Structure 1
Amino acid sequence: MRAVTTHEGRLEVAQVPDLEPGPGQILLDVRRCGICGSDLHARTHGDVTADALAQMGYNDFIRSRDTVVLGHEFVGTVTAYGPGTRRAWKPGTRVVALPMLGTGDGVQLTGLSAKAPGGYAEQVLVSEAFAFPVPDAVSDDHAALVEPLAVAHHAVRRSEIGRREVAVVVGCGPIGLAVILLLKAAGVRTVVASDPSPGRRELAQRCGADVVVDPRETDPFDAYGERRGHLRSAQGLFDLALGSMRAARRLPGSSWARLMRLAERTGQLPKGPVVFECVGVPGMIDTMVATAPLRSRVIVVGVCMEPDTIRPSIAIGKEIDLRFVFGYDPAEFHQTLQWIASGKVDPSPLITGTVGLDGVAGAFADLAEAGEHAKILIDPRAAAAS
């Protein structure tokens, strides 16, 4: 079959061996596959990430010496079953699946391991246990976006953001835009989006961001106004402490302590916004720690595949909460599919292009520029017909 492979950082359209479904597996004809930012990073920085994942017990992540078919955001139609499957869906049924393939070598990351070829191809293997049928109301394009939107759904859930809290999304690439969509689906009233690209700022507005800024001109942490009571400096914290001590003298006994604890439980004490770092390049986490208001929660969604450095003293002094998120669970994946089907989440603004297999290398170049594009989809059938 035809597929796009990567080896030593080079992308190539090649003929690769046909796939045969093993125990518990389904063979799909790929209808769409999204190009993920992780694919761009893995092509050039896979060795660093592979070393890190090996320390966590996963030894099969893509390395530059490997020849790998990328692609983990896909929708396809059932074409064949392996042994030991329930054969729950008729051939031709559209399904999406978590990109985790059960094999004789354990569970592999589809599209990010030579042992589990991905969706930049005419066909792909999935685990039947991780597959879900696609409702008729969901188009192929939208179905291919279940996976990245599930990442955003997980990030929003893990952030524990309240509807009245301010969300600041830094970076409006595909994952940042997905986070905006899921924040609005969760009912968050104020979402600030920050990106230097005019095209991506326009997409952020289409995804529902309430305030959109160019960070070269406007600090995103100033864009929603000081009315939120967010403290921007240590001096503000010192002033608050001094005011608290003065007020305490006017209250009898331990009344002030009880009042403070009550204010803390009801969310009345000053705290910062919930910041979603969706860029994933070295230096961004430290920048968020240094520039966010005191007592902000920083949710690290962007995947930086290189070593990075932060200054703990600043995070400590500002009581910044750092929370790292990864992937999703099957329930979140399925919920995301249902929200797309019901119209609660409309991923249309994310899709800015479609290419065949022969256009993948050019799409990678376009996406690396971080310009007008967000999500480019691959239609392997278009490549076969050209």
Structure 2
Amino acid sequence: MSSMKLVQTGDADAIRVVEVERPVPGPNDALVKIRACGICGTDVTFLHMGGTPIDALGNPLDGGALRSLPLGHEPAGEVVEVGAEVTELKAGDHVVVNPQAAPSGIIGCGGALGGMGEYLLIENAVVGRSVAVLPDSVPFEVAALNEPMAVSRHCVNRSEAGPGDKVVVFGAGPIGLGAVIWLKLRGVEHVVVADVIASRLETALAVGADAVIDSSVEDVPARLLELHGTGHNALGQTRPDTDVYIDAAGAAVVVNTALRTGKWGAKLVVVAMHKQPEPIDIGAMLRSEMVIIASQGYPSEIFEVTLEIAEHAERFGKLISHKVPFSDVAHAFELTLTPGAAEKVVVTFD
């Protein structure tokens, strides 16, 4: 039987490239040759731990044991084989994948399968549920942004921001910048991005932000007053006329800045992962009657974004800071594990 290479977690902060059997699709499955796969912060979390304390179906392992798991939940590739019962796909189709649709567990996030390998089995291959077909003209590295851009899209959908709104996005990583693109594509009037890294702010302007704030040296509330005009909180105190605050940074200071800066009825959408409980200023929330909205994953957006990414491929492509060949995949993960070394790393395959 043919073999293939696959990336798994190794010791803490390390990967292993292993040889495994190349999957054989059943009658309802498809086999995809991976052409590109992004690396995500979730991958980094698994690498820091050196594995996962749960089995492929989400059950805790005994005695605090860790299981090595295959990585990669942002794959794009080309169909090379389909099962006899699959009618909507054919060899040669370019596809992106819904990692949460696999019966054997979430692809690359604790399930039995991973997208950071030469081939990926699509179990129960159904267009619109487990895979989506996209135009051949879209570069595979851009197609591999489909999953994180679905996360961004859900965040923007949750915000309900419209053309007349003014928005600030904290955190100019891929999710925050994806939110900027979706906000501008839906006609939002003015979008500001705040971050502490100059190169990220440059990318924010390149993908369509109307203004940026270097929050390491600038007074964020004062700059928002300049950019968005004057509003007031429930006590009549002067506040920026910002309608929506998006936390794509995952820091308590961002949440508290939004709470203390918000005008009456403003919204805060939290899409970033906060890794531990943190104190927030509830009193400030009361003074603004701010609405706090959580945004998790992509309940319906995974393929809602696909054709729009294809249409605006050049714009989304600006989010990729590094393209690294699979032959140098260890370096790709080193970049991602090193703070400040890369913004978005995509591994490419021959």
What's the TM-score once normalised by structure 2's chain length? Answer: 0.85
Equivalent-residue separation in structure 2 for 1:221 and 1:240 (angstroms): 13
CA contact (8 A) 1:76 1:96 kept: yes
Classify 1:342/1:310 alpha carbon distance in 2 versus 1 (closer, same or farther; 3 Å). same
Q: Structure 1: which 5+ residue stretches go unaligned?
A: 242-268, 382-386
Task: Quote how far apart the aligned CAs of 1:302 are.
Answer: 1.1
Higher helix share: 1
Cα distance in structure 1, aligned partners of 2:132 and 2:32? 12
Q: Is residue 221–residue 240 contact of structure 2 (8 Å, CA) maintained in 1? A: no
Which stretch has the larger CA shift, 220-229 or 72-81? Answer: 220-229
Matches of 1:378 and 1:314 in 2, distance apart?
Answer: 43
Name the CA shift for 1:344/1:121 in 2 (closer, same or farther; >3 Å): closer
| Contact 1:271–1:295 (Cα < 8 Å) also in 2 | no
SS of structure 2 residue aligned to 1:156: helix
Give the gaps of 5 or more residues in structure 2.
none
For the residue of structure 2 that corresponds to 1:222, the secondary structure is: helix
- Whole-Å Cα distance in 2 between the matches of residues 135 and 301 of structure 1? 29
1:323 aligns with 2:293: yes
Residue 296 of structure 1 aligns with which residue? 266
For 2:102, what is the secondary structure of its paired residue?
Answer: strand
Asked if structure 2 preserves the Cα contact closer than 8 Å seen for 1:99 and 1:126, the reply is: no
Judge conservation of contact 2:29–2:86 (CA < 8 Å) in 1: no
Deviation at 1:73, TM superposition (A): 1.0
Moved more, 222-231 or 334-343: 222-231
Aligned residues: 339
> Of residues 249, 255, 259 in structure 2, which corresponds to 1:285?
255
Are residue 4 (structure 1) and residue 20 (structure 2) matched?
no
Q: Does the Cα contact within 8 Å between 1:7 and 1:65 map onto a contact in 2?
A: no
Residue identity (%): 30
Q: Distance in 2 between matches of 1:46 and 1:310?
A: 31
Residue identity matched to 1:118: G
Q: Which moved more, 1:74-83 or 1:194-203?
A: 74-83
Bigger Rg, which one: 1
**Rounded Cα–Cα distance in structure 1 between residues aligned with 2:107 and 2:78:** 17
| Equivalent in the alignment of 1:110 | 107
2:230 corresponds to 1:238: no
- The residue number in structure 1 matching 2:245 is 275
RMSD: 3.2
What residue identity is the alignment partner of 2:310?
A: A
Corresponding position of 2:180: 180
- Does 2:22 correspond to 1:13? no
Q: In 2, are the aligned partners of 1:5 and 1:68 still within 8 Å (CA)?
A: yes
Map 1:1-386; keep pairs closer than 5 Å: 1-9=4-12, 10-22=14-26, 24-44=28-48, 58-59=58-59, 65-82=66-83, 85-103=85-103, 108-115=105-112, 117-127=113-123, 128-129=125-126, 130-225=130-225, 228-231=229-232, 237-239=234-236, 272-281=242-251, 284-330=254-300, 332-343=301-312, 346-371=315-340, 373-381=342-350
Distance of aligned partners of 1:358 and 1:279 in 2 relative to their CA distance in 1, 3 Å threshold: farther
Distance 1:203 1:273, change over 3 A: same
Q: What secondary structure sits across from 2:80 in the alignment? A: strand
Does the CA-based 8 Å contact 1:230-1:273 persist in structure 2? Answer: no
Cα 1:148–1:356, aligned 2, differ >3 Å: closer, same or farther?
A: same
Task: Answer whether contact 1:7 1:64 (CA < 8 A) is retained.
Answer: no
Cα 1:172–1:372 shift into 2, 3 Å? farther
Q: Which residue identity is paired with 1:71? A: G
Aligned partners of 1:81, 1:31: CA distance in 2, in Å? 17
Bigger shift: residues 156-165 or 297-306: 297-306
Q: Report what 1:255 is aligned to.
A: none
Kindly state the Cα deviation for residue 373 of structure 1 after the two structures are TM-superposed.
2.6
Instruction: Return the offset for 1:184.
Output: 0.8
Give me the whole-angstrom Cα distance separating, in 2, the residues matched to 1:163 and 1:347. Answer: 21
Q: What is the deviation of 1:322? A: 1.2
